[in-house]
Amino acid sequence: MSDTSTDTDETDGSAGDGSDAELVAQDDGFSARQEYQMRLALAQSLGENLPGDEDYYEVFNWDKDPSVEDFFALALRNPYAYAVTFLPPSTTWRDPPKIDDKDDPRGDADQTEFESDVQDLIDDQNLWHYAKRADKLAGIGKFGVLVLEFDDVDDPDGFSKTVDEGAELTGLRPFSRASVDDVTVGGPGSGRWNEPTEYTLDFSDENEVEGAFEHQGPETLDVHWQRVIHIPSEELLDDELRGVERQRPVYNNLIDIEKTLGAAGQLVYRAAAWGIHINISDEFNLEDNGDDLREHLQRWQHGLENVLRTQGADDVKSLGGEDIDPQPVIDPNIEAISAQTGLPQSVLKGNESGERATTQDLKEWYGKIAERRNEFVEPQIVHAIIDRLLDIGSITEPQGGRYEVDWQPLAEMSESDQADIRKTRAEVLETWMQVAPGVLTPKQQLGFIEDGDLPSDLEGSDLPDLDEADPEVEAQFEAQFGPVEADD
């Protein structure tokens, strides 16, 4: 590692703690330490806009700057934190993408050589499985990494070197921010200005024995940037490498839910451990200072005797706990989490009657996931992996010069929705046939109504002159298919 990295760690005293101070710049005049200090100052200023001397982050016992370990632990133990952290990538990758060459296969082949190479990676290396796991882990902290293992490495030291041209991918390994000890970033003129040049992974946790498993090998590993796919947590804001942890905007709400559920559980436990209160008459003489009565009450309370003797008692009262309903506290926090993350409340809360989330909820959620696929997952993960393998020469170049990423729809349409679509197509077809009768055969008309497909060989010249068409019909036609110029 560079001296810059070492100085930063020593100054901030944060090596290995998941802080941003470990993301360092090398010889470029840009101080990652200053940026980290700015972020720390913003964090420390939270809660200071309350009148008086109170800091409401302290009053409400909220952590101003939770660490990646805090996010990780909460995601594994709190159901709402688990959903916030892992449900978006789980839904995103429910149906993996399909990679299509822009050109058609040659000869009798079903796939181009590029498509075949990608499919081999999917089948042999379980490519999308590891991409999904890396996406999930990236959201725990500000970023995560997916390490690519090639056949040009036969010892740990080889990971710090550039990848040999044409090396074959032999494995993948995802890591969260908690396992990334250092990231060194290039300076001006390096060709990697403000981009990672080397990563240091920390395996110290994995070296611990857990059951029958024990990790063998070095505790840290330096990895060249070519062997790493850098994945930010979500969409980037003011930083090219680090996003916002998925839990951070709703962390206070998650903690409040944790407190409320814990308090409710404790009260229920105390209410179950009820007791009794007996007032003994002043005129009654207790033998042996009431030791015999106390022993009898204990035996009765634990079910060892089924008769309660109350001789000499003025009254007997049960000491039970009060009921507590946590929903008035939890519901507003769930609403806040839903508003920020886009997760439907019905998905976060479930449904006591066992019903699924409403169609509208799912439609909005799937719309958000479709946007996430296109705006985040494609460029940051799918294209990043395939483009890296193309640059190294591990897979063949696309036959058409570039490729497309296609995703399957997230939801199947109901029969009612399909019927509405077919009805709309039939109405469109009726408008078309008024303008261009005979252009489509009955079989082609049926295909359009069922699938929305038009013959690929249908050209504008096959359509009749629209100069004499009814203006209203022509307007309807052009609204559906765009303007069509009449033949000369």
**pLDDT at residue 418, as a whole number:** 74
With contact defined as beta carbons under 8 Å apart, do 103 and 399 qualify? Answer: yes
Average pLDDT on 5-14 reads 39
Q: How many helices (H) and strands (E) does the chain have?
A: 16, 11
d(CA 141, CA 232): 9
pLDDT at 193 over 60: yes
The pLDDT tens digits of the residues spanning 336-359 come to 999 999 999 888 876 544 445 677
Question: How many residues are there in the chain?
Answer: 488
Q: Choose among 143, 136, 167: nearest CA to 153.
A: 167
The pLDDT tens digits of the residues spanning 154-192 come to 999 999 999 999 999 999 999 999 999 999 999 999 899
Enumerate the H helices of 414-470 as residue ranges: 415-435, 442-451
pLDDT at 244 over 70: yes
Token pair for residue 267?
A: 């009260």
pLDDT band at 486; cut points 50, 70, 90: very low
Token pair for residue 20?
A: 């941003």
**pLDDT at residue 2, as a whole number:** 42
As a whole number, the mean pLDDT across the chain is 79
Share of the chain above pLDDT 70, in %: 68
d(CA 119, CA 366): 26
Q: Which residue carries 């409040």 as its tokens?
A: 256
**pLDDT at residue 48, as a whole number:** 64
With contact defined as beta carbons under 8 Å apart, do 421 and 413 qualify? Answer: yes
pLDDT at 57 over 60: yes
The pLDDT tens digits of the residues spanning 80-130 come to 999 999 999 999 999 999 999 988 888 778 899 999 999 999 999 999 999
Lowest model confidence (mean pLDDT) among 133-137, 262-266, 296-300, 426-430: 296-300
Q: Which residues pair with 186 in a beta bridge?
A: 193
d(CA 115, CA 442): 36
User: Residue 21: exposed, middle, or buried by beta-carbon count in 10 A (0-12, 13-18, 19+)?
Assistant: buried
d(CA 7, CA 277): 67
Q: Which residue carries 């056949």 as its tokens?
A: 151
Mean pLDDT is highest, among 185-194, 215-224, 375-384, for: 375-384
Average pLDDT on 38-55 reads 64
**pLDDT at residue 218, as a whole number:** 87
Token pair for residue 416?
A: 């009612």
Enumerate the H helices of 240-344 as residue ranges: 251-272, 291-301, 327-341
Better-scored residue on pLDDT, 127 or 240: 127
| b/e map 252-262, b = 16+ CB within 10 Å | bbbbbbbebbe
pLDDT at 134 over 90: yes
**pLDDT at residue 171, as a whole number:** 96
d(CA 422, CA 429): 10
Q: How far is CA 291 from the centre of its chain?
A: 62
**pLDDT at residue 37, as a whole number:** 65
pLDDT at 202 over 50: yes
Average pLDDT on 217-240 reads 92
Token pair for residue 69?
A: 């370990």
d(CA 245, CA 136): 11
Mean pLDDT is highest, among 21-30, 92-101, 427-436, for: 92-101
pLDDT at 69 over 50: yes
pLDDT at 223 over 60: yes
Average pLDDT on 414-436 reads 78
pLDDT at 436 over 80: no
